[in-house]
Amino acid sequence: MPAKALTIAPGRLIKTIHETAQFGAKFAWGSASTETGVCRLALSDEDKKVKDWFYEETKKLGCEIKIDEVGNMFAIYPGKNTGPPTCMGSHLDTQPTGGRYDGILGVLSGLEVLRTFKDNGFTPNYPVGVINWMNEEGARFPQSLMASSVWAGLQTKEEIYKMESVTDSKPVTVKHELERIGYLGDIPANYEANPIAAHFELHIEQGPILEEQKKEIGIVVGVQAYVWYNVIVKGKAQHTGTTPLNSRADALLTASQMVVKANEIAHKNSGLCSVGILNLEPAVANVIPNKVSFTLDARHETDQGLATIINELKEEFELIAEKGNGSKTSKPLKVEFEHIYTSPAVHFNEKCIQCVEESSNALFGEENCIKMISGAGHDSCSTSARVPTGFIFIPSKDGVSHNPEEYSTPEQCENGFKTLLNAVIKYDELRAIGEA
Amino acid sequence: MPAKALTIAPGRLIKTIHETAQFGAKFAWGSASTETGVCRLALSDEDKKVKDWFYEETKKLGCEIKIDEVGNMFAIYPGKNTGPPTCMGSHLDTQPTGGRYDGILGVLSGLEVLRTFKDNGFTPNYPVGVINWMNEEGARFPQSLMASSVWAGLQTKEEIYKMESVTDSKPVTVKHELERIGYLGDIPANYEANPIAAHFELHIEQGPILEEQKKEIGIVVGVQAYVWYNVIVKGKAQHTGTTPLNSRADALLTASQMVVKANEIAHKNSGLCSVGILNLEPAVANVIPNKVSFTLDARHETDQGLATIINELKEEFELIAEKGNGSKTSKPLKVEFEHIYTSPAVHFNEKCIQCVEESSNALFGEENCIKMISGAGHDSCSTSARVPTGFIFIPSKDGVSHNPEEYSTPEQCENGFKTLLNAVIKYDELRAIGEA
């Protein structure tokens, strides 16, 4: 049976999405039962429920289900040949004020691929699996891509076992919660001991590009590099009424000039610079702030581009601080950079990109698909370090995400699923002829 | 005896300043016993102690002491004629992290004037008084110029009686504390029922102008007008990684442009604009803020100048918000102004200014004195609404105030006292010849 002849069950995917949203449905924003967000924190009771549900549904399809030592679930549908499965994966955990699509779409579309195989009596050349990665969000336990990064050998299971929750009044550890909900499995959490052949992920864009450009599918070729700094500006606290402009060392005025400059530098270098947190001291209406600290989130498609942005930021901020507020008696202000985290650029696998591109172009026409990079990190960043990885975006309404009103239409979700289905079949075919 | 022939007691004023600092000495910044700040919140136990001390000291000089219904103390030294006293006043309460001079210098210099009269056997033409105004700072009970404004009829005693403390773990009312420390007097707190003829106040500058310009005395001709607004900027919360620059409505970027613009407008109009508090939401490193609110403190020497600044601020902020972040899909940002408080410009009395000017110029030479305006409000703003008022500044080291390290040299303090002494005598002489 040629793959293109597979019959799909229209509407079943979106029905499944809304069905699983019962596990944590919260924050109604409309009158329909489907118009709520979802709060399903990693390893919570609600997360256990959806994991149990996922186990049962994949079991019904004849899958072998592996639970690894950090709570990742691998549901593997058999192929004609044995070998590592071609996988589809994402996550079923959500942000505290999450929506119905972030991560969920990827796992349930993978499930829908397997259901379609089953409905059509289709057997792939090699096993095909669906992975539900544990704690992608990093909300309850504050580290994103947590369990996929353990699987990829980017950190040890011991490191994450001891991490404590930040959303419980009495913090509990990851290991405690894995045991409590029965998902501390015995399969090694390791890409060598529990290998997969490839990883495909379908995800909502969480940004406005596809919607603005009226495209159906984003063929994601990589994930931009980013760095986080904490920037500290030190001036002098003085009375707002008695201190002439020329005698000030106003840390907020200087920090404001930096925020504006960072935006200019981002424009100039086709990158992104954003300030999400800003605190000042002493925070009194009639006192000029002597200290401002702010987070600086800088991103670029390439590591080199990001390095250029960082260099310019540091040089320009120094100049702004040295110049001060035109003060005669005050010293120049000081600026310090505290490095928080750097995430290098990710480049997805050419064969996987090719499979996604051929699939989406055939389904929706080249004019309705674009190659793009992802602004945010996903579990595929972890897998990409070890196995060929491909990534697909569908549009997000107004670019909204991490919000109960996160939305993609049923048609957009189904478009993503169909692209995933055919991309995985193409990759399976490439494996069969020894080209992947 | 001509006033100029009065002999002063060098060093006694500064000794008295350090003596009273025992009532609340705190926050050592040097090794000497005089190198601390003072914490003496209005109507606290320490405030009671300094009030009791002031009562005893003025009693010894033969003063009549009146305590009014809101805790103001009037110590009146008799003159040759009866009639309302020519007064010198300021406050003995401090900020929580206050220094040894703010307010205190004015009251104790007034006391030193009376001591000098007594030492010299000098009797003024009319009674001369010293006033210790209650709660000028507005720190414990959050309203500055509290009791002087009741005396001036700018608000009622009932309004302030019910105000609650913000620095006690269990809030107490003004009335409760007046009763508790024994300073709920029976003299009406009213400029008509308990009149004074004039008010002179000596104060530290709390700014850097005299120090920068190497002047000894500031002849203060008025107090600048000021207005406080809360400015609210509303944009859109979006992911810092997935939202292109052109699709943003970044409330912090817009607010930063406003902070920079406010500084430009202040320069252009020879006024002051300052932002002391800024809060943003949601305050997450990888989320573009959708809401920023900040206080805007704008000041100008004249009411008209302040009105011009306000108009420009509103126009320019609207333009900045409308322009947005160059967004295609997001709406322009919104900006709202919430008015908090307006304090009109104060112009001190010409006769009083003349007395201060003649006094300071004779003592230190015209080249060492300048006419200036006060950036901050003082009890003299209240009295100026009802009686002729004059005001004197001495330099503040580095312009520092509301800080334990607030400092003026013993010589500077004595210079201020001598200026006050002669100004009051001059005014008394003008009264005697019917010219004041």
Evaluate the CA torsion angle B273, B279, B285, B287 in order and state its sign: negative
Whether residues B207 and A263 touch (CB distance < 8 A) is answered with no
Asked if this assembly's ipTM is beyond 0.85, the reply is yes
In which band, very low, low, confident or very high, does the pLDDT at A1 lie, cut at 50, 70 and 90? very low
User: Over the stretch B242-289, which tens digit does the pLDDT of each residue have?
Assistant: 999 998 999 999 999 999 999 999 999 999 999 999 999 988 888 899
Scan residues 190-249 of B and list those with Cβ closer than 8 Å to A.
205-209, 211-212, 224, 226, 228, 237-245, 247
* CA max distance for chain B: 84
Q: What confidence score (pLDDT) does residue B330 get?
A: 66
**Who among A240, A275, A398 is closest to B297 (CB)?**
A240
On the question of pLDDT at B71 being above 50, the answer is yes
Mean local confidence (pLDDT), A286-301 = 95
Place of tokens 């944590």: A24
In which band, very low, low, confident or very high, does the pLDDT at A185 lie, cut at 50, 70 and 90? very high
For residue A325, list chain B residues with Cβ-Cβ distance below 8 A: 263
Minimal CA separation from A317 to chain B, in Å: 15
Q: What confidence score (pLDDT) does residue A285 get?
A: 87
Q: What confidence score (pLDDT) does residue A157 get?
A: 98
Q: What confidence score (pLDDT) does residue A329 get?
A: 62
User: Over the stretch A232-276, which tens digit does the pLDDT of each residue have?
Assistant: 999 988 899 999 999 899 999 999 999 999 999 999 999 999 999
Q: What confidence score (pLDDT) does residue B4 get?
A: 58
How big is the A-B interface in CB pairs under 8 Å? 198
Scan residues 119-158 of A and list those with Cβ closer than 8 Å to B.
none
Under a CB-based contact definition with an 8 Å cutoff, are residues A117 and A229 in contact? no
Whether residues B276 and A288 touch (CB distance < 8 A) is answered with yes
Give the span between the Cα atoms of B366 and B137, in whole angstroms: 32
Non-local (6+) Cβ contacts of B194 within 8 A are: B66, B68, B74, B151, B187, B188
Beta-strand pair B86-90/B128-132:
parallel
Whether residues A247 and B207 touch (CB distance < 8 A) is answered with yes
Whether residues B243 and A374 touch (CB distance < 8 A) is answered with no
Minimal CA separation from B255 to chain A, in Å: 8
Minimal CA separation from A188 to chain B, in Å: 33
In which band, very low, low, confident or very high, does the pLDDT at A174 lie, cut at 50, 70 and 90? very high
Under a CB-based contact definition with an 8 Å cutoff, are residues B133 and B148 in contact? yes
On the question of pLDDT at A2 being above 60, the answer is no
Under a CB-based contact definition with an 8 Å cutoff, are residues B302 and B345 in contact? yes
For residue A243, list chain B residues with Cβ-Cβ distance below 8 A: 207-208, 272, 375, 399
Per DSSP, the three-state class of B175 is: helix
**Structure tokens, A143:** 């580290």
Q: List the single residue in B with minimal CA-CA distance to A341.
A: B285
Quote the pTM value.
Answer: 0.87
Angle, helices B251-268/B303-323, rounded to nearest 10 degrees: 150
For residue A393, list chain B residues with Cβ-Cβ distance below 8 A: none
Under a CB-based contact definition with an 8 Å cutoff, are residues A42 and A178 in contact? no
A193 burial type by CB count under 10 A (0-12 exposed, 13-18 middle, 19+ buried): exposed
Minimal CA separation from A222 to chain B, in Å: 13
Whether residues A376 and B255 touch (CB distance < 8 A) is answered with no
Scan residues 325-384 of B and list those with Cβ closer than 8 Å to A.
325, 328-329, 340, 374-377
Q: What is the 3-state secondary structure (H, E, C) of chain A?
A: CCHHHCCCCCCHHHHHHHHHCCCCEEEECCCCCCCEEECCCCCCHHHHHHHHHHHHHHHHCCCEEEEECCCCEEEEECCCCCCCCEEEEECCCCCCCECCCCCHHHHHHHHHHHHHHHHCCCCCCCCEEEEECCCCCCCCCCCCCHHHHHHCCCCCHHHHHCCECCCCCCCCEHHHHHHHCCCCCCECCCCCCCCCCEEEEEEECCCCHHHHCCCCEEEEEEECEEEEEEEEEECCCEECCCCCHHHCCCHHHHHHHHHHHHHHHHHHCCCEEECCCEEEECCCCCEECCEEEEEEEEEECCHHHHHHHHHHHHHHHHHHHHHCCCCCCCCCCEEEEEEEEEECCEECCHHHHHHHHHHHHHHHCHHHEEEEEECCCCHHHHHHCCCCEEEEEECCHHHCCCCCCCCCCHHHHHHHHHHHHHHHHHHHHHHHCCCC
Per DSSP, the three-state class of B340 is: strand
Q: List the single residue in A with minimal CA-CA distance to B256.
A: A256
Whether residues A288 and B267 touch (CB distance < 8 A) is answered with no
Non-local (6+) Cβ contacts of B260 within 8 A are: A253, A256, A257, A260
Cα-flanking dihedrals φ and ψ of residue B220, to 5°?
A: -85, 120
Scan residues 278-297 of A and list those with Cβ closer than 8 Å to B.
278, 280, 283-289, 295, 297
Give the span between the Cα atoms of B242 and A403, in whole angstroms: 14
Whether residues B329 and A212 touch (CB distance < 8 A) is answered with yes
Our CA angle for A53, A59, A62, nearest 5°, is 155
Mean local confidence (pLDDT), B129-146 = 94
Instruction: Kindly list the domain boundaries of chain B, sorted by start residue.
Output: 12-223+345-433, 225-343
Q: What confidence score (pLDDT) does residue B290 get?
A: 94
Per DSSP, the three-state class of B393 is: strand
Q: List the single residue in A with minimal CA-CA distance to B294.
A: A285
- Amino acid identity of B397? K
Q: List the single residue in B with minimal CA-CA distance to A292.
A: B278
Q: What confidence score (pLDDT) does residue A90 get?
A: 98
On the question of pLDDT at A335 being above 80, the answer is yes
Whether residues A245 and B224 touch (CB distance < 8 A) is answered with no
Percent of chain A with pLDDT over 90: 91
Classified by CATH at the fold level, domain B225-343 comes out as Alpha-Beta Plaits (3.30.70)
**Who among B209, B263, B402 is closest to A244 (CB)?**
B209
Most B CBs within 10 Å, among A143, A220, A238, A339, to test the B interface: A238
Reported in sequence order, the residue ranges of B31-168 that DSSP labels E, i.e. its strands, are 36-38, 64-67, 73-77, 86-90, 128-132
On the question of pLDDT at B224 being above 90, the answer is yes
User: Over the stretch A24-46, which tens digit does the pLDDT of each residue have?
Assistant: 999 999 999 999 999 999 999 99
For residue A209, list chain B residues with Cβ-Cβ distance below 8 A: 244, 247
Give the span between the Cα atoms of B202 and B391, in whole angstroms: 6
On the question of pLDDT at A331 being above 80, the answer is no
Q: What confidence score (pLDDT) does residue A426 get?
A: 98
Whether residues B239 and A275 touch (CB distance < 8 A) is answered with no
Mean local confidence (pLDDT), A360-383 = 97
Place of tokens 């000497």: B32
Q: What confidence score (pLDDT) does residue A133 get?
A: 98
Give the span between the Cα atoms of A356 and A374, in whole angstroms: 15
**Structure tokens, B90:** 């300021």
Q: What is the CATH number of domain B12-223+345-433?
A: 3.40.630.10
Q: What confidence score (pLDDT) does residue A330 get?
A: 66
C-alpha A361: how far from its chain's center? 24
Scan residues 387-416 of B and list those with Cβ closer than 8 Å to A.
398-403
For residue A327, list chain B residues with Cβ-Cβ distance below 8 A: none
Evaluate the CA torsion angle B345, B349, B354, B356 in order and state its sign: negative
Minimal CA separation from A9 to chain B, in Å: 32
CA atoms lying within 13 Å on the CB side of residue A384:
25
Count other C-beta atoms under 10 Å from residue B190's C-beta.
Answer: 18
For residue B239, list chain A residues with Cβ-Cβ distance below 8 A: 206-207, 375-376, 399, 401-402
**Who among A238, A250, A376 is closest to B241 (CB)?**
A376
**Structure tokens, B346:** 């104060």
Whether residues B287 and A295 touch (CB distance < 8 A) is answered with no
In which band, very low, low, confident or very high, does the pLDDT at B1 lie, cut at 50, 70 and 90? very low
For residue B329, list chain A residues with Cβ-Cβ distance below 8 A: 208, 211-212, 398-399
Minimal CA separation from B30 to chain A, in Å: 20
B121 burial type by CB count under 10 A (0-12 exposed, 13-18 middle, 19+ buried): exposed
**Structure tokens, A242:** 């008695």
**Structure tokens, A118:** 């089953």
User: Over the stretch B305-336, which tens digit does the pLDDT of each residue have?
Assistant: 999 999 999 999 999 999 988 766 667 999 99
DSSP B251-268: HHHHHHHHHHHHHHHHHH
User: Over the stretch B375-410, which tens digit does the pLDDT of each residue have?
Assistant: 999 999 999 999 999 999 999 999 999 899 999 999
Q: List the single residue in A with minimal CA-CA distance to B250.
A: A274
For A258-275, letters b (16+ CB in 10 Å) and e give bbbbbbebbeebebbbbb
Q: What confidence score (pLDDT) does residue A325 get?
A: 83
Under a CB-based contact definition with an 8 Å cutoff, are residues A340 and A189 in contact? no
Q: What confidence score (pLDDT) does residue A155 get?
A: 93
Per DSSP, the three-state class of B229 is: strand
Evaluate the CA torsion angle A342, A344, A345, A347 in order and state its sign: negative
For residue A284, list chain B residues with Cβ-Cβ distance below 8 A: 276-277
